Amino acid sequence: MLKRAFSRVRRRLSLHNEPGLPALDLRQFEISERLFKGFPFLEPHRGASGICDLHFQDRELRGAIACTPAEATLLHLAALNLKPQKALEIGSYIGWSSAHIASALDNKLTCVDPFLEIGSSLMEETSQCAKQRFLDNMARCGLDQKIKLVCGKSPDILPELVPNGGWDFAFVDGWHLDDQPVRDLIGLLPYLQGEAVIILHDPWIRDVRDGLVLLLLKGFNLYVCDTANYLTFCWRGQLTDGLRKTIAMSKTDRLTSHISKERKAGFGLGLKTLDQLAAAGMATPS
């Protein structure tokens, strides 16, 4: 038993072992290439999931890692195809994902971030520097009028922000540990429209995966994309045409990392595993 546990740990660690910084090549990602000009402080980062792909980090702020161009493009396409009227983002960092979503919307995107994740830890107070970087990046992209920034903590701040009728689109990418993803989702669910789509980033991290299990228990369907951080679409009821189209696009060569079933299973992200976890009631909040 111990031997099995050890080999599991070793396998997980080996997933993080790939050296090398990916080349900064955005030619295949038209929208990312255009927006990147508004982010002069971003530099390449290889990410943390073990799938070595081009990620980004602010070279002065460090702390969090922004999503890959493929994931950012998928967020943009999801917003284009779903045409949400009331969109929310939890966890914006320097605004890379925010810019991709907002640039596809007719209305404003509400972004919630306390800007605490700087360097390698969570700080007590908002980093004014990080907040200003977000605002400057949005202005350089010409998106300042498309974004409503709320400098506060999810889920506590959510009730006072709810739009009439609730949100119909939520990208959840805030603090990834300490049960926070499950707390974010529990806080969010009462304020969603019935047809709302939730998109989660990083379910290869256990606390985020617990969030997926919670959504399964609440009757959501999931599609885990083959992207470096397993961007996951979650919806209730019938798959809409917009989401079907987005999921189909996620399978095209440009947007997929062709992740093997085994690697996904190593993170418990096979659909069977997720269903079994949900059936066992794991991550059920009291």
Ligand X SMILES: C[S@@+](CC[C@H](N)C(=O)[O-])C[C@H]1O[C@@H](n2cnc3c(N)ncnc32)[C@H](O)[C@@H]1O
User: Which residues here bind ligand X, judged by CB under 6 A?
Assistant: 64, 66-67, 90-93, 96-97, 112-117, 153-154, 173-175
* Closest CA relative to residue 225, chosen from 103, 74, 117: 74
Based on CB atoms, which residue is closest to ligand X, 113 or 226?
113
Could you tell me the smallest distance in angstroms from the CB atom of residue 192 to ligand X? 17
4 Cβ neighbours under 8 A, 6+ residues apart: none
Could you tell me the smallest distance in angstroms from the CB atom of residue 267 to ligand X? 17
Q: How many other C-beta atoms are found inside a 10 Å radius of the C-beta of residue 230?
A: 26
Based on CB atoms, which residue is closest to ligand X, 63 or 277?
63
Buried b (16+ CB within 10 A) or exposed e, 151-175: bebbbeebeeebbeebbbbbbbbbb
**Token code pair at residue 230:** 């397993």
Q: How many Cα atoms occupy the beta-carbon half-sphere of 127 within 13 Å? A: 19
264 Cβ neighbours under 8 A, 6+ residues apart: 224, 230, 270
Are the beta carbons of 103 and 31 closer than 8 angstroms? yes
Residue nearest to ligand X (CB): 91
Residue type (1 letter), 267: F
Could you tell me the smallest distance in angstroms from the CB atom of residue 56 to ligand X? 7
Classified as helix, coil or strand, 120 is: coil
Based on CB atoms, which residue is closest to ligand X, 175 or 220?
175
- Please give the Cα distance from 242 to 119 (Å, whole number): 38
Based on CB atoms, which residue is closest to ligand X, 118 or 278?
118
- Please give the Cα distance from 26 to 95 (Å, whole number): 17
Could you tell me the smallest distance in angstroms from the CB atom of residue 98 to ligand X? 7
Could you tell me the smallest distance in angstroms from the CB atom of residue 156 to ligand X? 8
Based on CB atoms, which residue is closest to ligand X, 115 or 235?
115
Could you tell me the smallest distance in angstroms from the CB atom of residue 153 to ligand X? 4
Based on CB atoms, which residue is closest to ligand X, 93 or 267?
93
Residue type (1 letter), 151: C
**Token code pair at residue 225:** 């994309």
Based on CB atoms, which residue is closest to ligand X, 92 or 232?
92
Could you tell me the smallest distance in angstroms from the CB atom of residue 41 to ligand X? 13
